[in-house]
Amino acid sequence: MGKNDITITLKIDDALYAIPEGKVTGDNLNYCHLSDDNTDIPSTGSGTDFESNVYIDKNVTWQGDHTDNNSCTVKITGIDYEPNIDNDVDFFSGETNQSPGNSGKVKYKVKDSVTQDQMDVYTIQFSVALQPPNNIARNYSIDPKLKAHSNT
């Protein structure tokens, strides 16, 4: 990855699998743990208040994982722009929710038209599967935030 490319990791507790599929809200957000590898400007918040600082004209990669002492398989299945939020900016060019194949990762480049301190509330679509014999994937989503920074 190039300088200032960022990877956002969504770690999931196995307990999430017990709740109905769909948007993760309320106390169920405790089963979802977001982090990133930006050491220059650390992320803040958690759940839907999680804010990752990303760089204009650089790549952002999302990947899924399980938390310690858990064994579920987590795959990122798409990234969606939320267009109905005031002052929200679509950071990514090209079609959203592209199939990541079998990697369980999704990568986009932040558009060069995005400006310093603009915000993007977006949706991470992901699947969770337990180990066999209960390995049928269930689909969920969570809505964190991105904040743009120049990479100079």
Per DSSP, the residues of 56-116 read TTSEEEEEEEEPTT---EEEEEEEEE-TTSTTB---B-S-SS---TTS-EEEEEBPTT--T
Average pLDDT, the chain: 87
Q: What percent of the chain has pLDDT over 90?
A: 53
63-67, 99-103, 116-120: which range is least confident on average? 99-103
CA-based torsion, 75, 81, 87, 93: positive or negative? positive
pLDDT in tens, 107-147: 888 988 898 998 898 999 999 998 877 778 999 999 999 99
Q: Which pLDDT band, with edges at 50, 70 and 90, does 97 fall under?
A: very low
The model's pTM: 0.90
Structural domains of the chain, with CATH: 6-149 (2.60.40.3910)
What region does 117 belong to: left with phi over 0, alpha with psi -120 to 50, or beta? left
pLDDT of 33: 95
Q: What percent of the chain has pLDDT over 70?
A: 91
pLDDT of 132: 77
Question: Which residue reads 């990855």 in tokens?
Answer: 1
Measured distance CA(115)–CA(111) in Å, rounded: 9
